[in-house]
Amino acid sequence: MSAKCRDCNAEITWARTTGRGTYIALDLYPDDRDGIVRKRDTRDENGCLWADVLTGESLHRAIANSEKLYVPHRDTCHARRPTNPMPDHVRRAVGAVRPSHRRRRW
């Protein structure tokens, strides 16, 4: 069951977590490097796949077994990503000499 993200229009798939039973949006394809979610073969009453969000030892075991792991889409969505912040050393240097944007009328 694939869909599109309403914010960035990327292809995603929905899964239901086994721990809390909440729905989670996942990237469509597995990611060997950043994946933390394992899909199961079982489906709920709505036809949505069940998935396990892995942490700690279970995540290490899944990576060692070369299992297909998926990334939650909230981690890769470009629409919700914050703007690139200015580094502190640049902010201090620019802030000291940067003129005001307001024009004063006397």
**pTM of the shown model:** 0.68
Round to whole Å and give the CA distance between 73 and 11.
10
Residue 26 exposed, middle or buried by CB count within 10 Å (0-12, 13-18, 19+): buried
pLDDT digits (tens, 9 = 90+) for 55-83: 999 999 999 998 899 999 988 888 877 77
CB 57 within 8 A of CB 35: no
Closest CA to 40 of 56, 32, 24: 24
Q: Are strands 23-27 and 11-17 parallel, antiparallel or unpaired?
A: antiparallel
